[in-house]
Amino acid sequence: MHAFDPLDWIHQWDDFEMMMYARHDVDEPGIFMQVSRRLQREGAEEWEILYDRKIADVPEGIAEMPGTDAWEERVLRRHLTDHPQLVNEEKQHLAEFLANRDGRA
């Protein structure tokens, strides 16, 4: 397993960015997805967080110490391996989220 690099877990397209991360130090530990949108305001770039949601529980059998980079790397790699359509599914969730938010659903 290679060293943990947070950029491995960020996917950007158009004016959007999704970032997957794992948390163990919250009431409901799990794998989370944060989706943001890039805005241009008076020549400056801003990122608006659209949502931050739990997408899965932490898989069983992760040997590394919770909270370490090695633990997060293992958790996220296992989830991505088990869910190869994750990016497409999250883009679909985003489209539904935006439609509901904008009153088009």
For the chain, the domain total comes to 1
In a domain, 3, yes or no: no
In a domain, 1, yes or no: no
In a domain, 89, yes or no: yes
| Half-sphere exposure of residue 103: CA atoms within 13 angstroms, side-chain side | 0
Lay out the sheet containing 10-13: strands in order across: 10-13, 16-23, 30-41, 44-56
pLDDT of 2 over the 90 cut = no
In a domain, 39, yes or no: yes
In a domain, 18, yes or no: yes
Supply the range of the domain harboring residue 44: 8-101
Identify the band that residue 17 occupies on the pLDDT scale cut at 50, 70 and 90. very high
Kindly report the pTM of this predicted structure.
0.87
In a domain, 45, yes or no: yes
